[in-house]
Structure 1
Amino acid sequence: MHFIVGGAFQGKRKWARAYYRVEERKDVVWCNGYEREYGEPDVNMRERIVVFEGLEAAIRRIPDVAHWKRMFRIWHEWEQQGASRTVVWIGSDITQGIVPVEKEERLWRDVTGWCYQQLAQLCDRVDRVWCGLAERMK
């Protein structure tokens, strides 16, 4: 699995689309966590690359670390079952800066940080994108 993280509007989506040559391929499915919840793998999936964008927004809807550990594990297992499968997670880093006053906002920030730690451990590759440039962290 591949985790791409960085600040808001720093070019994560653009970088991922270029890195995986999304415009040239027909075997990529792009899931937008800003608009709807992520699902589990379908046994009939033909795509080889699955991209989950907006991870922080998806975590906001379900702020439960156990749920996300399970989702990360399920998708990791799906990836391992196919020779050329790749799962890409894209998330904005919301864990830095001023700590929110509202309890719900602090919980979201904390859970997102904990989930990102779990995900980074599972991933083979982690990149931080800042100003459109990627820095490989793992």
Structure 2
Amino acid sequence: MHFITGGAFNGKSKWVCKQYGITKSNGIWISAYRGSAIPNSLERTHENGVIVFEGIEYWVKDWLEYGEKDALQRWQNILQDWQLWEKSHPLRKVILIGTDITKGIVPISAEERTWRDVTGRVFQATAKTSSQMDLIWYGISQKIK
């Protein structure tokens, strides 16, 4: 798994396309920014190749209606499933893109603070699980892992 994070509109998607030689139209690109849901199974989605999941923070926000613990557990389960899928064939690669919403001014509303906090925990779990991690700011990558 490869986790890419950074600020909003800082070139994360463009960097992924260039890095992997893909476009949003010639690969499997599942985007919360465009309203896509996470599929129940990757086996039916794509046999081999690269799958990009973009907008992790928005899926987290949706799941918070079930509570913080449920959202975190759901993400852990998904990471495990994707890791197994990826490891089952050498041509498979899962790429995860999430905008870092954990910096800056702390939100006033409790819901927004919870979203920010849980997203931070989800990103920590993602960084730990991923074999690669890059931080993208202003289109420039910094390899973290």
Provide TM-score, normalisation by structure 2. Answer: 0.89
1:58 aligns with 2:59: yes
In 2, the alpha carbon distance for the partners of 1:107 and 1:30 equals 27
Among 94, 105, 109, the alignment partner of 1:102 is 109
Runs of at least 4 residues off by over 6 Å: none
In 1, the alpha carbon distance for the partners of 2:5 and 2:31 equals 15
Determine what percentage of the aligned residue pairs are the same residue.
37
Equivalent in the alignment of 1:20: 20
Deviation track 1:78-118 (CA, whole Å, cap 9, x = no partner) reads 00111111000000000011111111101100010000000
Structure 2 matches for 1:123-134, cutoff 5 A? Answer: 123-134=130-141
Q: Which has the larger share of helix?
A: 2
Provide structure 2 residue ranges, at least 5 long, that are not aligned to the other structure: 65-70
Residue type of the alignment partner of 2:17? R
What is the root-mean-square deviation of aligned Cα atoms in Å?
Answer: 1.4
In 2, the alpha carbon distance for the partners of 1:90 and 1:41 equals 19
Provide structure 1 residue ranges, at least 5 long, that are not aligned to the other structure: none
Structure 2 matches for 1:1-138, cutoff 5 A? Answer: 1-23=1-23, 26=26, 28-34=27-33, 35-44=35-44, 45-63=46-64, 64-138=71-145
In 2, the alpha carbon distance for the partners of 1:76 and 1:40 equals 14
**Do the aligned partners of 1:40 and 1:74 also contact (CA within 8 Å) in 2?**
no
**Do the aligned partners of 2:48 and 2:91 also contact (CA within 8 Å) in 1?**
no
**Do the aligned partners of 1:36 and 1:58 also contact (CA within 8 Å) in 2?**
no
